[in-house]
With several copies, the nearest count.
Chain A
Amino acid sequence: MAEIVSRVKRDYIASLIQQGKRADGRATDQFREVSVEKDLIKTADGSARVKIGKTHVLVGVKLQKGEPFPDTPDSGVLIVGSELLPMASPTFEVGPPREEAIELARVVDRGIRESESIDLDKLVIKSGEEVWSVFIDIDVLDHDGNLIDASALAAIAALTDVKALKEEGWTLPEFPLKEKPVAVTVVKVNGKLIVDPKLDEEQVMDARLTIVTTEDDSICAMQKGCAGSFQKEEIEQAYVIARGKAAELRKLLG
């Protein structure tokens, strides 16, 4: 069940965007206020809170010893989970994660994995037997749109918060973080591209495209969503927007 926005309001939001304006006065390529806080959760090895406007996401990272996957005996394990907590929105329900939560976790996972952000090869304790597993868990506390960007930013922020462990089996001087991928989702409404959609803007969007870029502006992951389509030119334009915004957001990681 999606949250219901009246047709009048939907039409208003969509027609504003067509004119290059937004209901809250932002420019089409402007994010709401973004804050990043780290080191909040003592029980986690790294943690971060990201707020984008009223959207509020908390990510905790835990490192635990475990077995490697049989086909990658010389690599640590990366597992990303997400919970769209029912407290975060009147429409999120109690129960096992549904496709929206699964897609969120998998897009965040791919950005980190494909940018080789974490040097998983360094997280081996004993080849084929014991490795460090990196659990990245996303808790969505308030949902007012743009969950992917907020979650991906919180995840990479939490990873930058991970310190060298003091446990047996840990031999590295620091957590082997090599790259800070940043996801930016560009959304198409009435033929216009905007960034950082609020929830009511998401309800009028035709399609969205998330582009995860690394520090050299190359692309490491993408995901198109929703029932609409993009022209090639729109996608190229989205990339230009995304790499610009990613550079801004990356500065907030400290």
Chain B
Amino acid sequence: MDKPEKLMIDGKRLDGRSPEELRPFKIVAGALERADGSAYVEMGNNKVFAAVYGPREMHPRHHALPDQAVLRCRYNMAPFSVDDRKKPGPNRRSIEISKVTREALEPVMFLELYPRSVIDVFVEVLQADAGTRTAGINAASVALADAGIPMKDLVSSVAVGKVEETVVMDLFKEEDQWGTTDMPIAMIPRKKAITLLQMDGHFTEEEFKYALDLASRGCTQIYEAQRQALKEKYTMRKEEE
């Protein structure tokens, strides 16, 4: 992939979006059969499943905590999800993303309700297009709710960044690779509480503040879609009854 000459043309991005616009996205609750809860998310060309098992007994037992559940997250990319085949198994990047995913979700959990047990969250990226961790968090959040696990609220996530001096919403692959800055954020939108914040690149103070606002707007839009997905799943269940 060669670097494009420009990443912004006449105020529009290479995929035709305005700087403030999210990519098309799709959120489905209950997308898998076996898991206690699950979700499928597309954000642009990202395709991601999340599955939740638990609360269930922890193995091995000495990893359990006496006064709360352990939340375990595993972010994984399918070997065919990226341009150069990814060797199966965890690497340093996926271990870090698994950690920040867990920390993005923990603020909405009531882990103290389930001492000695574990809640497992598995994120599988089938097709990657920049922002896989945010898509994974969006899916995981819905999957947790779909599993019927009590939560304070949903967590919503999007990356903002900077492309040729413009702060933009929800980077896609070319922007991620050739842009200046990438800042994935997760929030509890109604509380404006930020649960994930990472940043690589360059922001002045002003850009940074604007980026936080922009991310907040993006998360709110995704939050609505997450709720809608859960509502649809619930309605379908009701109809089936």
Contact = CB atoms under 8 A, between A and B. Distances in A.
Contacts of B59: 1
Contacts of B98: 99
Interface stretch (B5-13, B32-40, B163-171, B224-232): B32-40
Query: What band does the interface of chain A fall in when counting residues whose beta carbon is under 8 Å from B?
Result: 35 or more
B92 A139 contact: no
A222 B197 contact: yes
Interface stretch (A26-34, A146-154, A226-234, A245-253): A226-234
Contacts of B128: 43
A230 B187 CA distance: 9
B197 A235 contact: yes
B113 interface: no
B122 A217 contact: no
A81 B92 CA distance: 10
B198 A224 contact: yes
Nearest to A240: B205
B124 A85 contact: yes
Interface string A184-209: 00000000000000000000000001
A137 B208 CA distance: 31
A178 to B, nearest CB: 13
A103 B78 contact: no
Given A102-B92, A114-B201, A218-B203, A236 B209 contact: yes
B34 A218 contact: no
Interface string A78-112: 00010101111110001011010011011000100
Contacts of A97: 88
Given A220-B202, A225-B103, A137 B194 contact: no
B79 A137 contact: yes
A189 to B, nearest CB: 15
Contacts of B34: 54, 87-90, 142-144
Given A58-B126, A85-B122, A225-B103, A114 B197 contact: no
B49 A141 contact: yes
A220 B182 CA distance: 10
A229 B202 contact: no
B99 interface: yes
A135 interface: yes
A228 B152 CA distance: 13
B195 A229 contact: yes
Contacts of A42: 45, 127
A44 B194 CA distance: 35
Contacts of B99: 99, 102-103
B208 A43 contact: no
Given A90-B53, A94-B74, A114-B200, A229 B96 contact: no
Given A90-B56, A227-B107, A230-B194, A43 B33 contact: no
25 contacts: A40-B127, A41-B127, A47-B80, A61-B80, A81-B79, A85-B76, A85-B124, A87-B49, A87-B122, A88-B34, A90-B34, A90-B53, A99-B98, A102-B96, A102-B99, A135-B79, A135-B85, A137-B85, A209-B197, A217-B205, A223-B199, A224-B103, A229-B107, A229-B193, A235-B212
Interface of B: 32-35, 38, 45, 47, 49-51, 53, 56, 59, 74, 76, 78-85, 88-89, 92-93, 95-96, 98-100, 103, 106-107, 120, 122, 124, 126-128, 183, 188, 191-205, 208-209, 212-213, 216
Interface of A: 1, 40-44, 47, 54, 56, 58, 60-62, 64, 81, 83, 85-90, 94, 96-97, 99, 102-103, 105-106, 110, 113-114, 135, 137, 139, 141-144, 209, 217-232, 235-236, 239
